Structure 1
Amino acid sequence: MPAKNRTRYLGSLIAAVALGNSVQSDAQEQAHSTAAYTLEEVTVTARKREESLQDAPVSVTAFTNSTLEARSLFNLGNLSAVTPNVDISHGKGDGGSTNAAVYIRGVGQNDFIFPTDPGVGIYVDGVYIARSIGGMMDLSDIERVEVLRGPQGTLYGKNTIGGAINVVTTRPGNETEGTLRVTAGSRDRLDLEGSISVPLIPRHLFGKVAVASKNQDGYSRRLLDGTDMGDTNLDTLRAGVSWLASDDVDVYLAYDVTRIRQNGAPGTLLETFDDPSGLYAIYNALAAPLATGPGLEPGSQFDNRWVTDSPYRSNGTGPTRDHNDTWGLTATVDWQLGSTLNLKAITGYREMDAEIQVDMDYSPFPIVQTDEQQEQTQFSQELQISGLAVDGRLQWLAGAYYFEEDITDNNTTFLASGIYDALEMLPGAFVPLVPDLPCPAAFPAPCAGGQGNPYNVMFDLDVNPLTGLETENWAAFANLSWALTERAGVTLGGRYSYEKKTYDIDSIFPNSGNVATPPTTDSQSWSQFTPKLGLDYRLDEDALLYFSWEQGFKSGGWNPRPLSPLEFKRYDQEELTAYEVGLKSRLFDNRMTLNLAAFFSEYEDLQLTSNSVNPDNGSLLLTVDNAGDVDIWGLELELVARPLEAVDINLGVGYMDNEYSSLSPATGYSIDNKLPQAPKWTANAGAQYRLGLGQYGSLTLRGDVTFRSRVYNDSFNTPEIVQSSYTLLNARLTWQSAAGSWRVALFGTNLTDEEYFTSAESVPSFGFRNAVYGRPSEWGVSITREF
């Protein structure tokens, strides 16, 4: 027996013993087809060309449509539970329930508001989605989702310093086919999904339409007005036309529209506290007694009486709304110019109109309430030309990219609302602003109170900023992959990017008419060359070893929430250099794939958002700073195996740690702090068993478990809002007809009813901490008909 086959045979025996299975006789082995044990090949376009997942020398996790369904993954946020070193949450509470704060390997962005940009790029059919609002997209009508870890500064470029999520929707084909699905479940859940693909002109013109309507009552409730929080009310439509203009030209036109009408994020008040430098005490002394509304009796105070005994209940009464309308058009042209030359053009236009109302203190008092209205348009154009050379040993791609965005924001924010009015009502200046000062005292002694007192305006905090941002991004890129020998290859890539932003702001305090930030327009520009070097070596036809060195960057901006002209400050770009070594392997005659990656990242001038106390008046101070430099390192393991024809297992493990190498003293953080949204351990495991029922079809039982270690929810690592480690358990039982045209599934998520929060904030200026909790235990039944 050849050495190679002998190794595979021995490996198969070892695997069988490890799984507790008896070794079958040679006759039994021959009775089974090897194909029945072989894992399905997964094709990805992570490097902007089709190739097997196992042949791509990059760290990428891919989910096909069938995988998404089998693992009960309904929206983009679910992917963090099944992808190592990935964290996806709603981010800051005022971003609403559809905001997607994505972190990969510790790099991302928690804040939704511009001019801050996401650190992980989301692409749909090759079109970059610039804003994170609405990013918790529904995964209906999806062919494949690819999660690329590490900077993608060559082929993707804009805002992919942490990684990229590449969403590929389904395309129509030359056969008439369709899907109908109804899902019902907990809290009156009712999802309706349908799609149909038909040849309009056989072999030349094909069309598709896919629609989904998803509705469910919320899992959190406001006690004082009965409002459901965490509800779902989403309608979406995707349509596409594919035209084979000739044997060499393929044109695809796609349209999508989504309408969301939901309440705000399902948060709750964790605790109140009196920070001596904040406004907690002065609010309770002056404004709280004058506040009116549901639940407020004479003498009410903003204190822990408004903390409920359930993570799914709150005493909020302020406005809560998450409305979002988005639509887009995409045109993709593939032109085969010759046997070794291809031209591709991707044109995208998108619009977003969002209204987000949030009561962040989750109490009857107007401590922090926001009413945000954003309108955004974006246009992008990408051209790629690719080909083969040197007898097919050299694969090359070159391209150019243009992107422009125009976005406006009208934000009405209430901050400790009522202090200014209460001071104006006082008969005189009775409130000392410095220690041990006797009041009243003659002006200009620093005593607040009394109508017209100029010191009162220090506490006029309700603010209405009008902001706008225009962005232009130009880039040129190239990527070469050269097979030096039959086993060894090298990849060289680079991207030159130029980005210009123009930001304008006009912010006033409407109660007093004072100016928070006078009408101001400022422009900044950045340019950067981000290179890549990759080496790969085939140990044999089933094992690929690779190394990569790559850089990424994200442009800078301005402090997005200034409450005075002095707070209107610029921050600069951030940069990341990543080193990665990995192994991709097929084992046991392709019954198992095992992928390993180790990485080390040098993160420079990282942009961190902080929430602190303004030393001038105790109010809120929200800033974005280039905090310093941090080193991030870690490991990832992903395994998929089919030890028996009817058994599939998967395992994913991520380990990550980080350490500041330098830190600006102005940030106020400790150099011993850890990055937010960067758990040290992430792990997921799943197994399914398929039982054949002959002419009655089959039953498949599946279980999935997810583990996530401790997570810091802010840059200060505030201990009261640290989420400790937790484990989630999901299960699914699916019956499929013998012809495969019918499926009925019973599923449950978070079966142990684990309580955990996905995001949390500490606001010392106003003395409260809040959290948004993850979904409790849920069940559902899904019926699918394919034709």
Structure 2
Amino acid sequence: MLRTPITVLSAAIACACAMQVQAQQVSGLMEEIIVTSQKREQTLQDTPVAITAFTGDQMSDLGIVSIQDISNFTPSMSYQEAAGGGEGNRIYIRGIGRETSVLGTEPGVGIYTDGFYSNESGALLAGVDRIERLEVVRGPQGTLYGRNTTGGAINVISKRPSEEFEGTIRFNAGSYSSRVGQFTVSGPINEKVRYFAHHSKTTQDSFYTNVSGDDPIGRDESYSEVQLNVDVTDNVNWNFRATDASFDNETIGFQNLGANFTTGPLKLGELVVNPELFSSLAVSPSAADPFDIDSDFQGSVHLSDNYNFQSTLDIELDSMTVRVLNGSSEMEWTGEKDYDGTSSLVSYTEEITQIEEYTQHEIQFISKGDGAVSWVAGLFYYDSELLQPYTLHDYDNPYLTNVITLPTYAPKANPEQAFYSQTGELDAQTTAIYGQLDWQVNEDLVITAGLRYSEDEKSGSEQQQVIIDTLGCGFNYYPGTGNPFLLPFYAPADYSTFVTVGNLYPGGQFADACPTDGEDRFALEYTNKSADHSAKWDSITWRINANWAINDSSQAYATVSTGYKSGGFRLGGMQDDPATAVNESIVDEETLTSFEVGYKGAITDSLNVNAAAYFYDYSDMQVELDILNPDSGISTSMLANAPSVDVYGFEMEATWAATDNLTLLASYSYNESEITEEFLVGDLKTYVFNPATLQNPPLIRDAKGNELNRSPKNKVAIGAFHVQPFDAGTLLTSATYSSIDKQFVSIHNDDIESIDSYAKFDARISWKAGSGKYEISAYGDNLTDELSYANGYSVGNQQLGNRLSGRAIAPRTLGAELVFFF
């Protein structure tokens, strides 16, 4: 049920309206916004696509400071912070996004900073002092953008070096010892050369309290940027931008929101002793407070050597602008976290590294004639190289130091005491040619047609090693999953004594779980294999749009367009069955056909309304599914293509200058999705025992008729912004409220796998000195301290009692900011 605390919002608006008006001034939120989503400058209202745009100043005035804030205030957009600390963050628009961050896959929403592609959502966190504008373009944008815009594209437009000298010093302090310092300076070097320089430092204590040890480390981030803008000649301009980012942040797995699992020495999908069996707590502290954790390892994710270089050359000819973009980036980050989430004597540690390099080259030809026809054409090339090792360790387990290998039973050293490891390595290239033409048929009608040919080529390699601690019971067998090795001469083991008093045995977690069967405890290398893959995909995408000017201040448009996302691999999962002719590790490309109609107009001089309705025919969506391997007893993830999906919905955004001083904003979106064909998927929440095979496979269910993940049906956002001028300066007050409907995290659409609807209320008040020299602000985020697991949520398997895990959105935070302008 959609909830709207009208009383809270009304109070905020009434408070703003009650201020004494001593002068008249129209709110800056009604100012005309210039966007470049179609590769040329247009006003937001004249651009015939569904787009939400914020200037940097507007984001600051409204308190939009996080990706979750951007998502909450953008129709049909959802965001999931999959693992925290900069790991695995995912963006969805109209239900289209990224179901997995595994190497070899791509996002469904492209992020572009000044025209340069990135699959990292951190690009959206640019501060107000270095961002000119943010544009969220909804719907497939396959004819003008480089790659992966099936669901939409997000443009981040940076501030450019200024014509006159200017500078900003910004200090921010808030809850959880939050501290932010930023320094920005820009101006001319001489008549032809200008510069821009920015540096920021952010620190914050963790939201989480560890009941069993040191608290997580919180945030420690640095960012530096320099730009040079050179007028080479009167007709040639070159902009060079270089950035360097680093951080050393906490990283925390989903918290267990229920009781610990203490009825078995093993857990489904884990190959060594169950850590929760030796936990001092019967119930995870997160069950009572999601910001309390029980951990024996202070994890961190570290980003280093993150350099970006971007060169943009604009050549102004009589009939066109030629724009040449060349960029490169390199990044290395490593994360370690407490994988088991307990302070047990048994400690699992997850270690993951990603090393990435990419280059992008693009040339655009943009007409600038005044005739009936205008056009954009271009060539695009993108090359990326990625390496991603992943390891799970059971440190201090002496049985993992040396392992026995099959079939010779020869010993092998395992000094890192890893029980699972995988490595993926990927080389990917995208090449494209595109063009789009606008034809002004008459004064009122513009027809747009676009076409793009894209080719993606990927080659990848993967390696996987699986090591099992036998616990002294031959090969492992645990009730509820069947015999993982299907060897009849290994009878099911009786672990009852170990489960009951295992931690009291001599050696505790290192005791023999079956002391009377004569089997020694040892570690066995069950799997050590590798594979190589290569594939190529290509696609022609197109767009046809008709834009009709109803009058001087309003227009209607209709668009039919297609989208495409290349196929890929799930590197590290080793999901190919060598016995078949088909390589199951390779998934097909996604395709989408979109039908959209929209309206943009000024209803009155003070009220702007934008609306859109859409229908998608979406095919071969790439999804990650949990699969139980009956031979190994291991639950792994498999990448697969879902059948056809229909998506349809409606969006509306309105801006109303209620008075000369008060502006109200509102947005609403309704999104409906449905899997329209049979899609049989195993559900790990339910197992059905087969006595003939001693196996207990998951129940196979048909997902036909279900909706997509991360697709709330209803989203509402409301904002109030009041500007009150005085002789000495200006007082600005803003309040924003957002409400997000129930959403699912599994295509089974069970209630237990859903995130309840939630609402968020923020407010900000600022004083801007009349001299223009300083600004003071106070703000509150999530003022009602709403609890939601929108940042991450999952349900465990049947053996663990289908228990819940999740990550809550940030709690209530308060802060103040002081800015000096010079």
**Alpha-carbon shift at residue 264 of structure 1 (Å):** 0.3
- Asked whether 1:700 is paired with 2:680, we answer no
CA distance in 2 between counterparts of 1:222 and 1:156 reads 45
Question: Which of 532, 535, 550 matches 1:524?
Answer: 535
Q: Which amino acid aligns with 2:216?
A: D
Q: Deviations over 1:419-458 (max 9, x none)?
A: 9869999xxxxxxxxxxxxxxxxxx9xxxxxx9799xxxx
Q: Decide whether the 8 Å contact of 1:476 with 1:495 is kept in 2.
A: yes
Q: CA 1:548/1:369 → structure 2, altered by over 3 Å: closer, same or farther?
A: farther
Structure 1 distance, partners of 2:456, 2:645, is: 25
1:72 aligns with 2:66: no
How do 1:165-564 residues align onto structure 2 when only pairs under 5 Å count? 165-202=154-191, 204-228=192-216, 231-265=218-252, 267-271=254-258, 280=267, 287-288=273-274, 300=279, 304=283, 307-318=286-297, 320-325=299-304, 326-338=306-318, 340-365=319-344, 369-388=349-368, 391-414=370-393, 462-509=419-466, 514=525, 516=527, 518-562=529-573
Specify whether residues 480 and 33 from structure 1 end up closer, same or farther in structure 2 by C-alpha distance, changes over 3 A only.
farther
- How far is the alpha carbon of 1:180 from its aligned partner? 1.0
The range that moved more, 116-125 or 306-315, is 306-315
Query: How far, CA to CA, are the matches of 1:718 and 1:181 in structure 2?
Result: 47
Are the counterparts in 1 of residues 423 and 572 from structure 2 also a CA contact under 8 Å? no
Secondary structure in 2 matching 1:562? coil
In structure 2, C-alpha distance between the alignment counterparts of 1:718 and 1:276, rounded to whole Å: 26
Residues 462 and 282 of structure 1, relative CA distance in 2, 3 Å threshold: closer
Tell me how far 1:68 sits from its aligned partner. Answer: 1.1
Matched residue, 1:618: 633
Q: Does 1:772 pair with 2:789?
A: no
* Cα distance change, pair 48–265 in 1 and its aligned pair in 2 (3 A): farther
Task: Verify the 8 A CA contact 1:556 1:572 in the aligned structure 2.
Answer: yes
RMSD: 3.3
Secondary structure of the residue that 1:114 maps to in structure 2? coil
Give unpaired runs (5+ residues) of structure 2. 1-12, 15-21, 412-416, 469-522, 579-583, 683-699
Aligned equivalents of 1:82 and 1:97: distance in 2? 22
In 1, Cα distance between equivalents of 2:437 and 2:181: 45
SS at structure 1 position matched to 2:317: strand
Q: Does the alignment pair 1:662 with 2:677?
A: yes
Contact 1:100 1:136 in 2 (8 A): no
**Secondary structure at the counterpart of residue 72 of structure 2:** helix
Map 1:675-754; keep pairs closer than 5 Å.
Answer: 675-694=708-727, 696-754=728-786
For 1:49, what is the secondary structure of its paired residue?
A: coil
Q: Distance in 1 between matches of 2:777 and 2:215?
A: 31
What is aligned with 1:82?
A: 73
- TM-score in terms of structure 1 length: 0.85
AA aligned opposite 1:469: L
Q: Given the superposition, is the C-alpha separation of residues 656 and 248 from structure 1 closer, same or farther in structure 2, using an over 3 Å criterion?
A: same
C-alpha distance after superposition, 1:387-443 (max 9, x if no partner): 145x52211011000000000011112599979869999xxxxxxxxxxxxxxxxxx
Instruction: For residues 556-584 of structure 1, give each alpha carbon's deviation from its aligned partner in whole angstroms, at most 9, with x where no partner exists.
Output: 11233426663962211111111110000
Distance 1:38 1:274, change over 3 A: closer
Paired residue secondary structure (2:621): strand
Deviation at 1:738, TM superposition (A): 1.1
Paired residues of 1:652 and 1:684 also in contact (CA < 8 A): yes
**Tell me, what secondary structure is at the counterpart of 1:175?**
coil
CA deviation after TM superposition for structure 1 residue 765, in Å: 7.6
**Most deviating of 68-77 and 640-649:** 68-77
Distance 2:776 2:167 in 1: 17
Please tell me whether the aligned partners of residues 77 and 136 of structure 1 are also in contact (alpha carbons under 8 angstroms). no
Where 1:54 maps in the other structure, the secondary structure is helix
**Structure 1 residue ranges, 4+ long, deviating more than 6 angstroms after superposition:** 31-38, 273-278, 281-284, 415-425, 451-454
Question: Which letter does structure 2 place at the counterpart of 1:46?
Answer: S
Determine if contact 2:252/2:338 at 8 Å carries over to the other structure.
no
Cα distance change of structure 1 residues 678 and 421 upon mapping to structure 2, 3 Å threshold = same
**Which secondary structure does the structure 2 equivalent of 1:502 belong to?**
strand
What displacement does 1:99 show? 3.7
Structure 1: any 5+ residue segments left out of the alignment? 1-18, 21-30, 426-443, 445-450, 455-459
Q: For 1:228, what is the secondary structure of its paired residue?
A: coil
Aligned to 2:125: 137
**Structure 2 match to 1:126:** 115
Separation in structure 1 between the aligned mates of residue 260 and residue 643 of structure 2, nearest angstrom: 30
Instruction: Give the letter aligned to residue 773 of structure 1.
Output: A
Distance 1:274 1:223, change over 3 A: closer
- Alignment coverage as a number of residue pairs: 714
Q: Are the counterparts in 2 of residues 96 and 357 from structure 1 also a CA contact under 8 Å?
A: no
Cα distance change on mapping 1:476 and 1:220 into 2, 3 Å: same
Residue 60 of structure 1: which of 27, 48, 51 is its match? 51
Residue 49 to residue 494, structure 1, CA distance change in 2 (3 Å): same
SS at 2:362 equivalent:
strand
Partner of 2:141: 152
Structure 1 residue 34: Cα displacement: 9.7
Could you tell me how far 1:344 is from its partner in structure 2? 0.5
Any conservation in 2 of the 1:183–1:781 contact (CA below 8 Å)?
A: yes
Shift of 1:112: 2.1
CA distance in 2, matches of 1:671, 1:483: 44
TM-score (norm. length: structure 2) = 0.81
Q: Secondary structure at the match of 1:57?
A: coil
Q: State the 1:142 CA deviation.
A: 0.7
Contact persistence 2:260–2:281 (CA under 8 A): no
Q: Following the alignment from structure 2 to structure 1, what is the Cα–Cα distance between the partners of residues 254 and 309?
A: 35
Cα distance between partner residues in 2 of 1:402 and 1:769: 44
Structure 1 contact 357–369 (Cα < 8 Å) conserved:
yes
Match for residue 651 of structure 2? 636
1:300 positional shift: 4.4
**1:597-625 deviation digits (Å, cap 9, x = unpaired):** 00111110101112343333432221111
Q: Structure 1 CA distance, aligned partners of 2:206 and 2:57?
A: 27
After TM superposition, the structure 1 = structure 2 runs for residues 40-59 of structure 1, keeping only pairs within 5 Å, are: 40-59=31-50
1:651 Cα offset (Å): 0.4
Decide whether the 8 Å contact of 1:279 with 1:765 is kept in 2. no
Change in 2 beyond 3 A, CA 1:707/1:278: farther
Q: Look up the match of 1:786.
A: 821
Q: CA, structure 1 residues 554+283, in 2 after alignment: closer, same or farther (shift >3 Å)?
A: closer
2:793 paired residue number: 760
Q: How far apart are 1:197 and its partner, in Å?
A: 0.4
The alpha-carbon deviation at position 170 of structure 1 amounts to: 0.6
8 Å Cα contact 2:375/2:438 also seen in 1: yes
Distance 1:349 1:299, change over 3 A: closer
Deviation of 1:782 after TM superposition, in Å, equals 0.4
CA distance in 2, matches of 1:335, 1:108: 36
Deviation of the 1:514 alpha carbon? 3.5
Three-state SS of the structure 2 residue aligned to 1:720 is: helix
Q: Distance in 1 between matches of 2:67 and 2:112?
A: 12
Q: 1:98 to 1:647 in 2, by over 3 A?
A: farther
Q: 1:197-224, CA deviations, whole angstroms, 9 ceiling, x for partnerless residues? A: 020012x110010111111101112221
Q: Which deviations, in whole Å up to 9, do the C-alpha atoms of 1:215-240 show, x marking residues without a partner?
A: 110111222112226x2211001110
Kindly state the Cα deviation for residue 162 of structure 1 after the two structures are TM-superposed. Answer: 0.7
Amino acid of the residue matched to residue 242 of structure 1?
N
1:36 and 1:776 map into 2 onto residues whose CA distance is 30
Letter of the aligned partner of 1:540 in structure 2? N
Q: Structure 1 residue 603 and structure 2 residue 618: aligned?
A: yes
